[in-house]
Chain A
Amino acid sequence: MMKKITVKVNDKSVVVPEGVTVAAAVYMAGETAFRKSVSGQLRSPVCGMGICYECRVQIDNQPHQLACRQLCREGMEIRTL
């Protein structure tokens, strides 16, 4: 069976299958908004392949990381908005 790992999305622990992207983990945590735009609107991924930059989240205190291009690692701390 698929190995499971645990990540944190906005301090909430989520168990996800190994090999899923950070974006998938954010959705699995029940979030739909990933970032706030320069005028304060809520946004979520559009392209899914690393060109639109709408999926930017904070990963392990690093801002502006692309959620759709990074795979989850055990203990990763993800923060949206």
Chain B
Amino acid sequence: MLSPKDSPLGKLLEQYVCVRITRMDDVDVGLFDRDWNNAVYFFALNAEEQIYFRYGGRDSASPDTYLDLHSLEAALGDGLGMHRRYLGGELKLPPRPQAFFPRQIPLLAQRTFAQRQCVECHLIGDFQNIQREQAGTLDKLTHLYRSPDIKTIGIFLDVPKGLVVKEARDAAQAAGMKAGDRITALDGAAVATFGDLQYRYDKVDRKADKIRIAVDRGGSAVELTVGLPPRWWWTDLRFRQSSVDPRLDFEDRALTGEEKRRLGLPPDGFASQVKHVAELARALKTHELRVGDVIAAVNGVERDEQANTAELYLKLNVKAGDSAMLDVIRDGQRMKMQLNTHILSFRK
């Protein structure tokens, strides 16, 4: 028979003051900063509003990839330990972040408060980005491609065990990370949960070529330097509601070097082949691309420092709602084709 207060989770929660917030209107989003495309997220903190840990975070595959009751229980236990050290004056924490409220985002205030509409979580991030775009400070690598996926650098976690590594591949393996390591810090910032790790990883400068990850290996502290591969920051944006993301209604794949050579395209260009066309493309008159088409250039540009496909080049360089001219190769014939990107409807 379920007896929640006597359950391991219930016993832990009873030692906290628990509060559930379902409206973001008056929440200090400076203090509770996070990736706003998470529908559920937790923070543990003290009465001075110093954060012990974040719990939450997701990847593009699923909203609950990293959520697990065992890891939550472990985090809650760790949080109580931190709190005891805090009360004993033994724990040094970063200062409380500067307060910032949704009403301070002018466009968000116009579209929600002024119309008596709820401030939904994802709207906070979206309207922050719209404001940045209008101010000329939007950095799509940072603000659109939020929460880079740690699997891209080869870190696969044993999710019920929190930050214990299940398998290290690629860059993480090359740096010396091993299964069983427990990640404890990223670039010097302590991390206790996946939510902490993802939040700190998101703060890494997108131009960085390496990060420092500290791990606990059998009781010993080990510092690893992980080299970051090209486009380490890239994530699948399809689950996000973002109106600074130009909607393209197609997906592509990078051409191989041999495919580029056969087509006479530059080996370092971003030429790509269309692999999927959304049904919306015809209805919205986005473009007339077909699966199999090769996009050789966008607005006459064939190469880019960041993009390895035409789709990514468009995402990074075209403003949502604007048009671009594509150089398309279909059945060996090169043609020009207009692409009209569109914006998510809630912005209108």
Q: Do A and B bind each other?
A: no
By a beta-carbon cutoff of 8 Å, the part of chain B in contact with chain A is none
